[in-house]
Amino acid sequence: MRKGRFLDEADLETIAIGAAILGTGGGGNPYIGRLRARELPRQGLKMEVLSFSDLQDDDVVYEVGGIGAPVVGIEKFEHGDECLRALRAVEHQTGRHATALISSEIGGSNALEPLITAAQAGLPVIDGDGMGRAFPEVQMSTFMIYGIPGTPAALADDKGNSVVLASTRDVYWLERLARQATVEMGAAAGMALAPMSGSQVRETAVPGTLTLARQLGEAVLEARAQRRDPVGRVTELLGGVRLFEGKVTDVERRLERGFTRGQVRVSGLGDFQGESVKIDLQNENLVVWKGDEVVASVPDLIILLDLESGEPITTEVLRFGFRVAVLGVPAHPKLKTERALQVVGPAAFGYSHAFVPLPDIGVNRSTTASKEAADVLDSR
């Protein structure tokens, strides 16, 4: 029998930190998820992680995660079994039992949600996800981008409601109907999507991202303990660029159609004194502007870290006076193909600028996920 790596409480802490970093401001607050997750080993439940090489071609892998607005996630604690009930509803619909779960998005609480659900269901979780970050909408995953059908999918809420999206015209209708049902459910629900085979997961997912999240968390804690620049460690580990440093001078944030939307202004400090940037939000950080110039843009990752502690600053806690570093990190090659840019590029978020990728220096890329592999996917 295959056996993956079992997570302990320390892993949950580091994954939560790393997931918040990769959440690029969104994906839900992972610390609440961590509080829930750490109860599981105490109840004798195990959290097992499998790498891509452990996957069998005929594995039945369901994508699970929370859906909703991060602002709500803080105030509305989940009942605890929403994703599990959503999973059971899709399994009932397809008649196929899950053999493993995978995260829709590694960024934010959705790094931990599948671990919790998998522990409850006695299943392993795959080391990878569909975004390598967080994105606000369901269709914005490498699974959907590369043709895995999203339906049947299911939603379950804290009130005992569960809804199966049996079939939809396309993934945009899946997003639309799921989002509207989530709003009705109180702006937060557990979601499970149609199953994939092991080989489909290997082909389409962003690999190794649970491990990456853990490494990021470990690096931050280590740098803090040694009083060595945690922001620098994160930048280095992700192969990113420090785009800006400054003080948050204005935050405009509103809940709109189930999303947190808004803008943040940051005034420069240190080397950036006298300059300022504006960051657009839709759950996640979308675009960094310096005046009319785009400094960084989706799908590349825009990450705000506390200048001293390296603590990731998520959309819902962001406020005036925070001193932040703004990092730009190149997105995974699977998010930058022509096909992917139609779904997660600037135009998909209503922008008119072309995507100019941040320089990708190839740090921390899993070997199976090279640009060549992404190009093969893109050309299908």
Give me the residues that bind a second copy (CB under 8 A), please: 89, 92-93, 154, 159-169, 173, 176-177, 180-181, 183-185
- Coil, strand or helix: which one is 44? coil
Confirm if 301 and 288 have CB atoms less than 8 A apart.
no
Nearer to a second copy, 137 or 284 (CB): 137
Question: CB of residue 161 vs a second copy: minimum separation in angstroms?
Answer: 5
H, E, C per residue of 61-121: EEEEEEEECHHHHHHCCCCCCHHHHHHHHHHHHHCCCCCEEEECCCCHHHHCHHHHHHHHH
Angstrom distance (rounded) from CA 248 to CA 319: 7
Question: CB of residue 178 vs a second copy: minimum separation in angstroms?
Answer: 9
- Structure-token pair, residue 4: 């993956």
CB atoms within 10 A of CB 357: 16
Question: CB of residue 55 vs a second copy: minimum separation in angstroms?
Answer: 29
- Coil, strand or helix: which one is 86? helix
Angstrom distance (rounded) from CA 69 to CA 351: 21
Q: By CB neighbour count within 10 A (0-12 exposed, 13-18 middle, 19+ buried), where does 161 fall? A: middle
Question: CB of residue 62 vs a second copy: minimum separation in angstroms?
Answer: 16
β partners of residue 323: 247
Nearer to a second copy, 2 or 79 (CB): 79
Question: CB of residue 147 vs a second copy: minimum separation in angstroms?
Answer: 18
Nearer to a second copy, 181 or 327 (CB): 181
Angstrom distance (rounded) from CA 214 to CA 80: 23
Nearer to a second copy, 19 or 156 (CB): 156
Nearer to a second copy, 49 or 86 (CB): 86
Question: CB of residue 257 vs a second copy: minimum separation in angstroms?
Answer: 11
Nearer to a second copy, 89 or 303 (CB): 89
The letter for the amino acid at 10 is A
